[in-house]
């Protein structure tokens, strides 16, 4: 029987037992995606999170792998790592689904803690991670709708800003503009700028990441379809452009994260942090609330202290 991956990628590789960044084992083949667990969810057992229950059943019914959580993921994207390569403070992820295929796709919800004005803020980013296996231009593409809520924490160093495409903001590493223009088809731009399910994208080294400042590993079948369809568009375009192959995958050296691209495989442009611009609206709101509380408390003290 002929069987192809639902995202249109026919070949399958070995399926890992733990999330991206770790060992890979155990073959599984699927023909299509069954969304029944999301569209007709079964009531979870007592004291079980309904979303986690639905996502785990969704993964199980499709022969995929589900992981409740991971700590300090070794993925190289801006959501997971600082510009110097160190893991973001208190970085972790939950509801991780691993979809076997060529390339492998992982979807989850990542969190890290940011310290601003002496207070800690938890940042949430839903993500899809794809190891493309080929060198891609360094670029971040932000949906305008997502950026209004939370900007990505870093961009390619020295990147030029391009706001010419409707609904998205593109920041490409110097010298990669032509490759980025060829990569970003109108269909890809439309998928990222979708009003109901906007997505940001990062291409770096041999990786594609899709991000959103909201949950992507959720019980919404429409959201899953949007994410996987966007992955499909990117992968198909990369194949069409016949980008250079990255170096063959090698066993990681001692102390090297297994999820990091092989040393010397591709050259990834350095990143520049956006610093205090990250979730500035959230910090501003916090400061506004604190200031208002101080004003009210001061007024009350003056009034009642008479």
Q: Stretch 225-236: mean pLDDT, rounded?
A: 96
Radius of gyration for the chain, computed over Cα atoms and rounded to the nearest angstrom: 21
Encode 253-273: b = buried (16+ Cβ within 10 Å), e = exposed: eeeebebbbbeebbebbebee
Percentage of the residues of the chain whose pLDDT score is greater than 90? 60
Task: Please give the pLDDT value at position 31.
Answer: 45
Specify the pTM. 0.76
pLDDT in tens, 243-278: 877 654 333 323 323 333 333 333 355 555 555 344
d(CA 282, CA 203): 27
Of 28 and 94, which is predicted with more confidence? 94
Q: Stretch 100-123: mean pLDDT, rounded?
A: 89
The 8-class DSSP code of residue 291 comes to H
Task: Please give the pLDDT value at position 248.
Answer: 40
d(CA 181, CA 141): 12
The residue assigned the tokens 């399926």 is 15
Number of residues that this document lists for the chain: 306
> Where do the domains of the chain lie?
36-273, 279-306
Task: Please give the pLDDT value at position 215.
Answer: 98
Encode 116-138: b = buried (16+ Cβ within 10 Å), e = exposed: beeeeeebebbbbbbbbbbbbbb
Structure tokens, 187? 């269909």
Task: Please give the pLDDT value at position 11.
Answer: 31
26: confidence class by pLDDT, cuts 50, 70, 90: very low
The 8-class DSSP code of residue 237 comes to H
d(CA 288, CA 295): 10
d(CA 168, CA 162): 9
User: Within 10 Å of residue 27's Cβ, how many Cβ atoms?
Assistant: 9
pLDDT in tens, 189-207: 999 999 999 999 999 999 9
Helix (H) or strand (E) holding 224: helix 221-241
76 in Cβ contact with 94 (< 8 Å):
no
Task: Please give the pLDDT value at position 246.
Answer: 65
d(CA 19, CA 59): 13
Strands (E), the chain: 65-71, 92-99, 105-116, 119-131, 139-143, 154-156, 160-162, 168-172, 200-204, 207-212, 271-273
d(CA 35, CA 72): 30
Q: Stretch 30-53: mean pLDDT, rounded?
A: 90
CA-based max dimension of the chain: 87
């Amino acid at each position: 029987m002929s069987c192809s991956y639902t995202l249109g990628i026919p070949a399958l590789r070995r399926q890992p037992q733990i999330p991206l960044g770790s060992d890979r084992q155990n073959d599984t083949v699927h023909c299509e995606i069954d969304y029944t667990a999301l569209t007709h969810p079964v009531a979870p057992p007592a004291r079980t999170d309904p979303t986690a229950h639905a996502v785990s059943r969704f993964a199980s019914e499709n022969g995929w792998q589900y992981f409740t959580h991971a700590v300090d993921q070794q993925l190289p994207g801006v959501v997971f790592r600082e510009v110097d390569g160190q893991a973001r403070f208190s970085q972790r992820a939950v509801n991780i689904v691993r979809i076997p295929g060529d390339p492998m796709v992982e979807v989850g919800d990542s969190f890290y803690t940011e310290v601003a004005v002496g207070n800690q803020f938890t940042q949430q980013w839903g993500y899809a991670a794809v190891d493309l296996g080929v060198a891609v231009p360094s670029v971040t593409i932000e949906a305008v709708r997502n950026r209004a809520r939370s900007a990505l924490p870093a961009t390619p160093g020295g990147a030029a800003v391009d706001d010419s495409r409707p609904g998205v903001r593109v920041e490409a590493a110097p010298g990669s503009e032509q490759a980025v223009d060829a990569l970003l088809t109108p269909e890809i731009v439309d998928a990222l700028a979708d009003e109901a399910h906007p997505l940001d994208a990062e291409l770096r080294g041999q990786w594609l990441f899709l991000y959103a400042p909201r949950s992507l590993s959720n019980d919404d079948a429409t959201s899953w379809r949007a994410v996987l369809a966007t992955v499909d568009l990117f992968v198909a375009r990369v194949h069409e452009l016949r980008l250079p192959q990255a170096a063959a995958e090698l066993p990681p050296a001692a102390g090297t994260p297994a999820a990091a691209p092989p040393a010397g495989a591709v050259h990834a442009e350095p990143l520049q942090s956006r610093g205090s611009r990250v979730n500035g609206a959230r910090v501003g709101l916090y400061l506004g609330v604190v200031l208002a509380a101080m004003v009210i408390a001061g007024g009350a003290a003056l009034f009642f202290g008479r």
